[in-house]
Each structure stands twice: as structure tokens, then as C-alpha cells.
């Protein structure tokens, strides 16, 4: 399904979007990737959503990516005898391992790993930072704190520990079960929560065994500090601004977002900007002006994808939310300033033959009358490198592997077309020209750029480029040479 924009849209599925009719409507409205949140729903419910998406993909002949978002370890306080207590600023409050119900002076924090890592002066943020504690004294089973920001604390509220690297694996036992289940279903991407170090990513990759690409969610200060290493170990990145805004000053999030997006583009790896993009549309059919600006900024920055969470999963207006995001993207990308910003930020390396080939393809497309860039790809690398160039013409990724086509649905500007395997470059050119013309990317009197790697079907061998006509007579002559 051809889009009139390059940035991709990720829509989370949930109670508001679980039927065939609704999910198909979301795809037709603009959703390119569907996110299955493993924090919610049973395996049977997730399996049914997966089945529906694949049926829609078959019915519309349109590759769709499925992203399974793993929950990650959840750090929560215990319960209170009165269900909730009011903490006053300046008061003392203890966290410990004692399972006895809490009161206004203490509560259980059933995570010994936290106490192992704490030091005096460390902050603990409860209930998304609404309550803030500073550690005065700590030991292997307790932390005596001062309340720096008071409020109501209640049963099982979440805890963030931004100042230390916790000795916790990113994958809980639930995550391991969910990962195996999701890979068995055949999802295309796994989103890994609570990433603190590259070793967390390597563990997930080892368990996935190539069955799904691994995308790291950057939501902790430790992940920002080690971002280059985490990026190198990952297939993609999600800038999860919600938790980042809890654990870091909110004023620090926008510049971090810009830096991470640019680094992902430099590395030719897809990056999603996520969280609270159109939050008001959970209950309103119209977004706020600030939300539209937020979505626009992510597009101007060159993000590969922008994401809806509760807006499409539990909101009252899921189709309107996707349609709004789609309309904003089309408007931004038609702005001449968008092109100026994207091209001014082009800083791709030129360290390999593949880098030079895709750069040449983009330059040819910009200096001659070329309608599209077609790249034959098995692993998807050629298409990702081409997308990094952010060309002005459509990118058509020709692949015989459905898994590659689905994964590339997350990549900027990439239109995926299933093709049969080819053994000669001439036949790749013929297939590309026909696909570009038949799908409306080019007219019979247009030309396209075709890139591929020889020998065929060997990942990472992009080494050839040709400008080819789309005229059927010339294609026929080429086919019969």
C-alpha cells in the first residue's frame, strides 16, 4: 500500500483496536507497523491479533511489520495497610524487604537488587516521579530516605532508580517466555525494555536466534550514557521519552532525542520516536497544537517512525489518531524546509563500496530525471543504507524474503515489493522496472536507478548500479538480449 510520505507510523493494538475491521482500517489510514504490548493481554489474545494482521497483509498484498514489545522487569513497592498514605516533604521514609504491610513511615520494596546498588544521595522516584525520595543511609535490606517531593503513595506503585546501574537483567522470566512465544508466532521486531548495557541486547539476540530483529528501548540514563555500544548491538532503537522524562529532567529529553535520532541515521538503523505524541486524542478527536508540533519535530529530525501508544490501543479515536499523524507527516514532508533540514544533516560515512553505491544512486536521482531507486536486497542492508541517504525519490526494496520485506516496513521511505529470486543483474533490472511502473512509482517514459549485489543472494554485497528505462518495449528487448 503506497504512502504519500516517508516516515512510518507505528500503532499499538489494544482493547480499542482488536477486530479485523478496526485493524484493517488503521492500516488503510496509515499504520505501517503494529505494536503488540506484551505487558497487556494473554498469549491467546496476542496470537489472535497476530493472526488478524497476517490476514490483512494477505488480503491487501501489503507487507506489514509486527513489533512485540517486551515488558521488562517492573520495580514496584509493596502494599499498605490502609492502601495509601500521604508523605510530607521533609519526612523520613524507609524502604525495606520486610513483607509486612506498609504505613506512613515505611513500605516493602521487594527488590534486593536495588538495595545492592544504592548509595547515599541516590534518588528513588515513585509513581512516575510524582513522589521523590533521597537516600540518606542504606544497607543490603533497607534504605532510609528523606521525602523531597511529597504526595500520595499507594499499593504497588512503580519505582525508578535513575542514578545507578541496577544489577538486573533486561529480560525477566516473563520476558523470556514472551520472547519465545513471539518468535514462535513470527513477529518481525522485538522491543527490549529496561536496557542499561549492550550485554542486555546481546542476551535477547541470542535468545531470538535471528527469528526477529531486536530493537532497544532507550528509557534509562544508563542507556543514554552507553548509547553507542547499545546501538552497535541493536537492529533498531526506540526513544521511549516517557520513562526518560521521569528519570532525567524533562528539559534534557528533547536534545537527547535529537542526538539519538542522528546517531541512528548515521548507523543506518531504524529509530522510533515514541510516547505521548498525540496523548489528548485518547479522549478527543482533535490533537493539541503542541502535540502536532511534537510529531512534526520528530519528522523534521529525520526519525524513521513515530508511534501511537494508548491513542490507538485504548483511546476513543484510534482511526482519527492514525489519520492525524498521517496528515501531519504528509504536510511536513511537503515543506521545502523539511528537505533543507534533512539534506543539511546528511553525514553518512563513505567507508565501503555499498556506501558509495547508495550515495551515487541518491546523487543520480537528484541530478537527473529518475523516478525511483530500486534496490534488490536479501538481508535488507542495501535498503537501510539507501534510506540513510534520505533521497527525494521513492525507495523500492525488491526482495524474495517476506521477513525482510516486513522488517523494512519500519524503515524511512522504504516501499517493499515481493519478487522472485533472480540470478542475473539483467533480470533484476527488468523486475525492478516492471514493479516501479506497475505499482505507480514510475511512468513508461521514466527511468529508475537499480542497485544490487553480485553474486546474488549473498548479504552485504551491494556493488553494482544501473540507470534503466521503464518503457515496456525497452524492457522486453533487455529481457531477450
Instruction: Find out whether 26 and 17 touch, Cβ atoms under 8 Å.
Output: yes
Which of 94, 129, 160 marks a domain boundary? 160
pLDDT value of residue 481: 67
Closest CA to 375 of 443, 423, 431: 431
- Look up the CATH number of the domain holding residue 64: 3.20.20.60
* Pairwise CA distance, residues 156 & 460, whole Å: 49
123 catalytic, yes or no?
no
Other beta carbons within 10 Å of 473: 9
Which ranges of the chain have pLDDT less than 50? none
Set 94, 123, 217, 437: catalytic member: 217
Domain assignment present for 3: no
42 catalytic, yes or no?
no
Other beta carbons within 10 Å of 334: 11
35 catalytic, yes or no?
yes
Give the pairing of strands 131-139 and 142-149: antiparallel
| Three-state SS at 190 | strand
In tens, the pLDDT along 329-351 reads 999 999 999 999 999 998 877 77
Give the bridge partners for 126, in sequence order: 131, 159
134 catalytic, yes or no?
no
pLDDT value of residue 50: 98
The count of structural domains within the chain is 3
103 lies in which domain range? 84-160
What are the respective helix, strand and coil percentages of the chain, to the nearest 5? 40, 25, 35
Set 5, 258, 275, 461: catalytic member: 275
pLDDT value of residue 455: 77
Which of 130, 160, 190 marks a domain boundary? 160
With a pLDDT cut of 70, the percent of the chain lying above it is 98
pLDDT value of residue 428: 87
- Does residue 360 share a domain with residue 229? no
Domain assignment present for 78: no
- Does residue 296 share a domain with residue 326? yes
- Does residue 310 share a domain with residue 196? yes
- Look up the CATH number of the domain holding residue 98: 2.40.33.10
Exposure of 332 in the CB half-sphere (CA atoms within 13 A): 24
Other beta carbons within 10 Å of 475: 20
CA distances from 471 to 62, 380, 426, 430, 474 (A): 25, 28, 15, 10, 5
pTM: 0.93
pLDDT value of residue 460: 66
Residue reference for cell 527490549: 192
Radius of gyration for the alpha carbons in the chain, expressed in angstroms and rounded: 24
Domain assignment present for 1: no
Set 3, 24, 74, 76: catalytic member: 76
Amino acid at each position: 500500500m503506497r504512502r504519500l510520505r516517508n516516515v512510518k507510523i507505528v500503532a499499538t493494538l489494544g482493547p480499542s483496536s482488536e477486530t479485523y475491521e478496526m485493524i484493517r482500517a488503521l492500516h488503510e489510514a496509515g499504520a505501517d507497523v503494529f505494536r503488540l504490548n506484551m505487558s497487556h493481554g494473554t498469549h491467546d489474545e496476542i496470537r489472535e491479533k497476530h493472526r488478524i494482521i497476517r490476514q490483512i497483509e494477505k488480503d491487501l498484498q501489503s507487507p506489514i511489520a509486527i513489533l512485540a514489545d517486551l515488558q521488562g522487569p517492573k520495580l514496584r513497592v509493596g502494599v499498605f495497610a490502609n492502601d495509601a498514605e500521604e508523605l510530607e516533604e521533609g519526612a523520613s521514609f524507609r524502604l525495606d524487604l520486610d513483607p509486612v504491610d506498609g504505613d506512613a513511615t515505611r513500605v516493602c520494596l521487594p527488590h534486593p537488587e536495588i538495595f545492592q546498588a544504592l548509595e547515599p544521595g541516590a534518588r528513588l522516584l515513585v509513581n512516575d516521579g510524582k513522589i521523590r525520595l533521597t537516600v540518606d543511609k542504606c544497607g543490603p535490606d533497607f534504605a532510609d530516605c528523606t521525602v523531597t517531593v511529597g504526595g500520595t503513595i499507594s499499593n504497588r506503585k512503580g519505582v525508578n532508580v535513575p542514578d545507578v546501574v541496577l544489577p538486573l537483567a533486561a529480560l525477566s522470566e516473563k520476558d523470556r517466555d514472551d520472547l519465545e512465544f513471539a518468535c514462535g508466532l513470527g513477529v518481525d521486531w522485538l522491543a527490549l525494555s529496561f536496557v542499561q548495557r549492550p550485554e542486555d541486547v546481546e542476551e535477547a539476540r541470542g535468545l531470538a536466534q535471528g527469528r526477529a530483529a531486536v530493537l532497544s528501548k532507550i528509557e534509562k540514563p544508563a542507556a543514554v550514557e552507553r548509547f553507542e555500544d547499545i546501538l552497535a548491538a541493536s537492529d533498531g532503537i526506540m526513544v521511549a521519552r516517557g520513562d526518560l522524562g521521569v528519570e532525567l529532567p524533562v528539559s534534557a529529553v528533547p536534545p537527547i532525542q535529537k542526538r539519538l535520532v542522528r546517531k541512528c541515521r548515521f548507523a543506518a538503523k531504524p529509530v522510533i520516536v515514541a510516547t505521548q505524541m498525540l496523548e489528548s486524542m485518547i479522549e478527543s478527536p482533535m490533537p493539541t497544537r503542541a502535540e502536532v508540533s511534537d510529531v512534526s519535530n520528530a519528522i523534521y529530525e529525520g526519525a524513521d517512525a513515530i508511534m501511537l501508544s494508548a491513542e490507538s490501543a485504548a483511546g476513543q479515536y484510534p482511526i482519527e489518531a492514525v489519520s492525524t499523524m498521517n496528515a501531519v507527516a504528509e504536510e511536513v514532508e511537503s515543506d521545502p524546509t523539511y528537505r533543507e533540514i534533512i539534506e543539511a544533516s546528511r553525514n553518512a560515512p563513505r567507508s565501503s563500496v555499498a556506501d558509495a553505491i547508495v550515495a551515487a544512486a541518491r546523487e543520480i536521482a537528484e541530478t537527473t530525471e529518475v523516478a525511483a531507486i530500486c534496490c534488490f536486497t536479501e538481508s535488507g542492508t542495501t535498503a537501510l543504507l539507501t534510506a540513510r541517504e534520505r533521497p527525494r525519490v521513492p525507495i523500492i526494496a525488491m526482495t524474495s524474503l517476506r521477513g525482510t520485506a516486513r522488517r523494512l516496513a519500519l524503515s524511512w521511505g522504504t516501499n517493499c515489493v515481493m519478487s522472485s529470486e533472480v540470478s542475473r543483474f539483467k533480470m533484476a533490472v527488468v523486475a525492478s522496472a516492471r514493479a516501479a511502473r506497475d505499482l505507480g512509482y514510475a511512468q513508461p517514459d521514466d527511468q529508475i536507478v537499480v542497485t544490487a549485489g553480485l553474486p546474488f543472494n549473498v548479504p552485504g554485497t551491494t556493488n553494482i548500479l544501473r540507470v534503466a528505462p521503464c518503457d515496456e518495449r525497452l524492457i522486453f528487448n533487455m529481457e531477450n538480449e
